Structure formats: C-alpha cells, structure tokens
Chains A and B, each alone.
Chain A
Amino acid sequence: MSDKKRLDLEYSTHDSDKMRINVGPQHPSTHGVLRLEVEVDGEIVSEVIPHMGYLHRSFEKVCESMTYPQIIPYIDRIDYISAMNNEWPYVMALEKMMDIKVPEKVEYIRVIAAELNRIANHQIAVATFGMDAGAFTPFLYFFRDREYILWIFEKLSGARLLYNYFRVGGVSGDIYPTFKDECLDVIKKVRKTNAEVMDLLIYNRIFIQRTAKIGILPADVALSYACSGPVFRGSGVKYDLRKDETYSIYDRFDFDIPVGKGEVGVKGDCWDRNIVRMHEMEQSCKIIEQALAQMPMEGDVTAAFPKKIRPPKGEIYMRAEGPKGDLGFYIVSNGSDKPERVKARGTSFVNLSVIPEISKGYMFADLILILGSIDIVLGEVDR
C-alpha cells in the first residue's frame, strides 16, 4: 500500500490551517527511535500518529531457530533497561510446563535481583523525564546511584546491562560473600537520593506547574487499552500482579501498592505517574530488606536444573510484573527442544497505544512530557 493511500485513510479532514510536523526518529527526547506524526494547530496538538518498527529485530522469528536456553539472551534485549524482570516470566513459564520446583534460595535471589532492577529502571524513568522537563541534575544523581546497583549485578552475573542470569530451574551462579552488606548499603544510598530528588524535583513548584493536569488518563480508558504498571496505577486503579496474581514468594513480604490520587492536579496526570514510580522505589527497598533477612544461606542454586529442556507438547501464557507493567510470554511447544512459537507481549507496545487518545488538546511541549511519563522502551515496542 503506497504512502499516499495511508495518509488518506488516517486523516479525517485536511485543514489548511494545520501543520504536520514530524518528531523523530532521531530526536533527543523520544527515548529511542520512535516517529510521531503530529498535526498541530498553532501550538495545540490535534492529532498524533505513532510510527514504529525502527528497531524491529525479528525476535519471534529468531526464537524459532534457537533452543530454549539459547533464547534467554534475546529476551534480555527486549526491555534492555530491566533485563532481570524480562527473563523471569519466560523461565517461570517453562518451569510450569515441565513441572520443576526451584529451591528456596533461588526464589529469594530472583526476588532481590528483580526488585533491584525495578529500582534501576525507575531511576532512569524519572531521570529522563526530568531531563525532558528541563532539569538536568536529577539525571546525574540517579545515574550515580544506578552505578552502585550495576556493580552488584556485575559481580553477580558477569555483565552490567544484559545479564543472561536466570535459567530454567535456577540461576546461573550463586551469590558472593559480601552480597548482603552491599545490597543494604545500596538501599541506604537510594533512600537518601530519593529524599533529595523529592525535594528538588517532584515537589518543585515549576515541575508541578509543568506536569500536573497534563495527559490525563481516565481509568476506564486505561482498562480498555489494556495498560498496566505505573500508567494504570497512576489512574487510581490498585492492580499489581505481585498481589493480585501472586507468583513466586511475593506472598511472604509485606509491601504496599502506591496509586495515583490526584494530589496536586487531576487523578491520572503525568505527575501522578511519576509519584507512583518514586513510591514504588521505596516499596522495592522494603521488599529487598525483608528478602535479605529471610533468605537461607545454604543451598545449591543449580540443584533443580533439568537434564534436557524439552517441554511436553502444549502451550502456556505466563506474565509477571515488570517495572513498566506486565510482560507476558506465550510459548507453544511441539515436544522438541526448539519452540514452535514464542510471542512476547511487550508492555510498552500496549501502553504506547494510549498516546493518540490522551495527548489531544495540549501544547506541543506537553506532548514530549506525556510521552516521557508513559516510560516506553523501544525494544519492547518493536521487539
């Protein structure tokens, strides 16, 4: 289908007062290679059409030629900011299909790694959102703290960003002797920086004026568009897979689910989504402290590794709560050691579809902030 026909389908009226502007794919504020075709009337946005696929790396086709353990590095690269949370639903799905029970120690290590990665992800989310709004200092503070978390991961798994750490039946390596003290140290630093940034950025009068009452997402629209994560919780819905569909050992920890209340603006605006992320970082710190206190020190993390990974013929859909929302994997197995079909339901792909609806009527500079508050990563959108 040619480009001209596509334009005729999408634009309802061809008003000569309006201007069509292209944002991206190379643009400092789009958090990756995303192209937005924006129709503006002066400074007010009237229509937004996202174009994606600039990072389509054909993940699903690659998976059909790889064995199940070989797919795990590719799964890291779907949401490359929080790779540990990506691997978890995939290995959980295979363990459920093959009926494998992992040792206790592995469950605790998985929870700690996933929650540390959740903190790292929210640090980048709020830091880049601050940069979009014009504040550069929180970016430096958060990246300094993120380095400490990455050093822990480097000692644990061997890599800074893309770990390949989770395995079917366990994790690839045990924790090192000073792991507990370093984690507690990092949590202290994270709490201190969070308190500073709350004062410096989040409750800053200028920031509130820029982000409150912008990009309001009502709860029923969010439900129809199947949003999840802080985007959904920012609209006031208390829904979190860790509590509503508890997996692994999350029922042993005592933590809260922060929701947006419309404290300084309207419920469901950009400010609400950010305050949900800041509070979630604090809740993750609580979970990590409890997990470190309860974790058994003895145990072999490779004890439950199966001899061959050959799940029986069948299919399964498994999802887990990642930092951006629920990430799901639909695996169809035909009995051999390579899958028949693996589909990754990317959180950002679904969350991004809300943009044309919630950005009408705002100014052009606000559109960039709304996009930043949804917190997308293009690896999940395009896979």
Chain B
Amino acid sequence: MLPNEIYNNLKTEFGDAIIEYNDAQPTDPFILISTGMLFDICHTLRDNEEFLFDYLMSLSGMDLGENVGVVYHLYSMKYKHKLVLKVVAPKTDPKVPSVEMIWRSADWHEREAYDLMGVIFEGHHNMIRILCPYDWEGFPLRKDYKVPEIYRGMKVS
C-alpha cells in the first residue's frame, strides 16, 4: 500500500488523532500523529490485516527547537511496505507513550532516545540511561547542550 492510502485508512478510523500527512519533500513522506492515541494507532498498525507492520526498523529522537520529536520507521514483512510516523511533544513536558509492548525492539531504542534527547516514555519498565554513564547530567544530543568541564575528576574537553 502507498503511504497516502494508509493515511486515508487511518484517518477514517482515528479521525482527529491523525494530524497531518506531509509529502512535500523530495523523499520519504511521513504522517504526524498526536501523542495521546499513539499506542492505539500502533496496535492497529501491527495487527490490522491490511497493514501488518510487524518490524520496527528504527526509533529516533529529534530536537525541533522548542519541541522534541520521535520518529518511527515501520516495515511489513508480508506486504513489504514502509511507513514513517512522527510524534511531537514540548520540551517543558517531553512525555510520549511507550510502544515497547507492541514491538520488543522499541525497548532499547526508547532508552537511547531518553538518554540522548531527554524524551520520557511513559509505561516503559526500565527508563534509565543506556549509553552515557548512570550519573551523567544533561541530554547530549540537544542543540543547547553544554559540555561539562569536569567529570569525576577528569577534564572533559
């Protein structure tokens, strides 16, 4: 199925939760959805017979100035079609529902997005840092991140 067909099907089912379909750029159109209904939409995408998106290729955090975003890349083994989903949350309250119960590979990807970008995934069983040390301060991949001077007695820069 093409992305705009998937968008139309989702729109009829979920209505206002699907905010936008953007295919203005030269490659990779995406669907922007609201954070509240993310878990239900992903469940439908995985289990519904016409979608069957059972493979989560990648989950990345994005820094969008005042907001943080999460991008999901999905793939279906049976129909071999792909989809890009985006979710946006403000930096003052960066909470997004977790999809680790739907795709088990989202577990570590979400921990990495929390570690590097500061997105907090609600419902995750173990939301702690994964790559940086456990007592590291700050979220390194944000654009306004300031590298600390000293870490445990060692000069950082």
Contact = CB atoms under 8 A, between A and B. Distances in A.
Given A10-B126, A343-B60, A315 B27 contact: yes
Most chain A CB inside 10 Å of its own CB: which residue of B27, B28, B71, B77: B27
B105 interface: yes
B105 A353 contact: yes
A96 B130 CA distance: 33
Interface string B43-85: 0000000000011111010110000000101000100100010
A330 B60 contact: yes
B134 A332 contact: no
A7 to B, nearest CB: 11
A330 B25 CA distance: 15
A235 B84 CA distance: 28
Contacts of B133: 53
B140 interface: yes
A341 B140 CA distance: 13
A316 B28 contact: yes
B27 A239 contact: no
A350 B25 contact: no
What band does the interface of chain A fall in when counting residues whose beta carbon is under 8 Å from B? 35 or more
Interface stretch (A54-62, A252-260, A263-271, A292-300): A54-62
Tell me what chain A mostly uses at the interface: helix, strand, loop, or mixed.
mixed
A96 B62 CA distance: 22
Interface in A306-334: 312-317, 319, 326, 328, 330, 332
Nearest to B71: A330
Interface in A55-84: 56, 58, 60-61
B55 A226 contact: yes
A87 B148 CA distance: 32
A273 B45 CA distance: 31
A43 B69 CA distance: 45
Contact of A61 (B55, B84, B140): B140
A9 B130 CA distance: 14
A345 B80 contact: no
A314 B131 contact: no
Interface in B76-128: 77, 80, 84, 103-105, 107-108, 112, 116, 125-126, 128
B27 A225 contact: no
A382 interface: yes
A296 to B, nearest CB: 29
A345 B54 CA distance: 17
Nearest to B73: A317
Contact of A314 (B28, B55, B71, B134): B28
A6 B134 contact: yes
B132 A56 contact: yes
A314 B26 contact: yes
A3 interface: yes
Given A53-B130, A244-B80, A315 B25 contact: yes
A328 B57 contact: yes
B141 interface: yes
A350 B108 contact: yes
Contacts of B134: 1-3, 6
A133 interface: no
A317 B80 contact: no
Given A3-B134, A330-B58, 7 more contacts: A1-B134, A2-B134, A224-B104, A314-B26, A343-B58, A343-B60, A353-B104
17 contacts: A52-B131, A223-B54, A223-B55, A312-B25, A313-B25, A314-B28, A315-B28, A317-B28, A317-B58, A317-B84, A319-B57, A326-B57, A328-B73, A349-B108, A350-B105, A353-B104, A353-B108
Interface of A: 1-3, 6, 9-10, 52-53, 56, 58, 60-61, 96-97, 99, 221, 223-226, 239, 244-245, 312-317, 319, 326, 328, 330, 332, 341, 343, 345, 349-350, 353, 382-383
What 9 pairs between A and B have smallest CB-CB spacing?
A: A314-B25, A226-B105, A53-B131, A345-B58, A224-B104, A56-B131, A343-B60, A316-B27, A225-B104
